[in-house]
A and B are shown apart, each in its own frame.
Chain A
Amino acid sequence: MFSLQHLFTTLAQSPLGHYMQTSRWAFAVIEMVHLIALAALGGSVLVLDLRLLGVTLKGESAAAISQDLGRILLVSLTAMILSGIGLLSEEALKCYFSPAFRWKMALLAAAVLFYFTLHRRAVQRASYESISLGQRTTAVVSLLLWFGVGVAGRAIGLI
């Protein structure tokens, strides 16, 4: 029978998991990749949502900015997920039972879902002149969701 815990056990016992658990530097190196991708992801989210809020780059179309910064976001998100799987395989069962990890995954799913649906729609509808309440709310929710992913992620190592 399929269970999530079984999946995590399989990951921990996979060749990747073995490699991550025994190598002296693999975990550190993958962490560095994860952090560099975090910088790129956070920067693109921040500037894009500040544009939605009308704080920066007011003269530029939100859709055009979103198209370009969205590319940075997707590339860095992919790098974060791939490096994240590497980190996870080193301590998969610990993560499975960690409340911080569960929060992080829930918030990540919410942030990604929000980005591709309501956030995308708000970006397409954004105008130059007036910034609607809905647009502001979308930007704030997006910032809070991504920030939550970061805080929960940091907490995995602490609690």
Chain B
Amino acid sequence: MTQPLLQHICQLFYDSPIGTAIRESDYAFSLIESVHVLAITLLVGTISILDLRMLGLVLREVPVSRIARAVLPLTWAGFGVMFVSGLLLFWAEAAKSYLNPAFRVKVVLLLLVGLNPLIFHTSVYRRVTEWELDHRSPWRARLAACASLLLWGGIIVAGRAIAYF
């Protein structure tokens, strides 16, 4: 075996019955892709409302934690749909995805966008009761909001670019 381990795993996905079935079906890939595209609204559309609130651009009179309670369940639901549909799309194309530069960028951005809430929720968000009424959140919360908006935007861009490589 001269391939790198990751490439080998991708090839196994690609050659598996499920991967092959999705790739060879007339409709499966397009249908899953449509779900993946429309669920962007559920995932990115909802979390960006929380980000814009912390930046002080919308709903300034509503406490940050109340917005978080309203949108995060939707965001997580969106993440579930995106993860499952994305995994199925990857399954069908894994061997090609591995070599695709846009796919690689997307994976890196996804890892970063996962790190962001981990840092946010274990640091500045722990004291949210102290600042949730502020029209503009503290700079560390604003930094997390900007990172979230930029990373999700980048993920959409990289995701769309996958089809062009």
Which residues of A approach B to under 8 Å, CB–CB?
A: 25, 28, 31-32, 35-36, 38-47, 50, 56-57, 59-60, 64-65, 68-69, 71-72, 147, 150-151, 154-155, 158
User: In the complex the two chains form, is B49's CB within 8 Å of A44's CB?
Assistant: yes
Q: How many A-B residue pairs have CB under 8 A?
A: 94
List chain B residues, Cβ under 8 A from A57.
62, 66-67, 70
Kindly state whether residue B113 has any CB partner on chain A within 8 Å.
Answer: no
- A60→B161 CA distance, assembly (Å): 40
Residues of chain B from 2 to 31 with CB closer than 8 A to chain A in the complex: 30
User: In the complex the two chains form, is B49's CB within 8 Å of A69's CB?
Assistant: yes
List chain B residues, Cβ under 8 A from A32.
156-157, 160-161
- B65-105 contact mask (Cβ, 8 Å, vs A): 1 or 0: 01100110010000000000000000000000000000000
User: In the complex the two chains form, is B156's CB within 8 Å of A44's CB?
Assistant: no
User: In the complex the two chains form, is A158's CB within 8 Å of B45's CB?
Assistant: no
List chain A residues, Cβ under 8 A from B40.
35, 38-39, 42
List chain B residues, Cβ under 8 A from A155.
34
User: In the complex the two chains form, is B74's CB within 8 Å of A46's CB?
Assistant: yes
The answer, among A40, A50, A71, for a CB contact under 8 Å with B48, is A40
Kindly state whether residue B147 has any CB partner on chain A within 8 Å.
Answer: no
Main secondary structure of the interface of B (DSSP, over half): helix
A-B contact pairs, 25 of them (CB 8 A): A32-B157, A32-B161, A35-B40, A38-B40, A38-B41, A39-B152, A39-B156, A42-B38, A43-B42, A43-B49, A46-B74, A47-B71, A56-B71, A57-B62, A57-B66, A59-B66, A60-B59, A68-B58, A71-B58, A147-B38, A150-B38, A151-B38, A154-B37, A154-B38, A158-B34
Residue of B whose beta carbon sits closest to that of A154? B34
- A155→B30 CA distance, assembly (Å): 9
Which residues of B approach A to under 8 Å, CB–CB?
A: 30, 34, 37-38, 40-49, 52, 58-59, 61-62, 66-67, 70-71, 74, 152-153, 156-157, 160-161, 164
- A150→B74 CA distance, assembly (Å): 18
CB distance from B132 to the nearest CB of A (A): 14
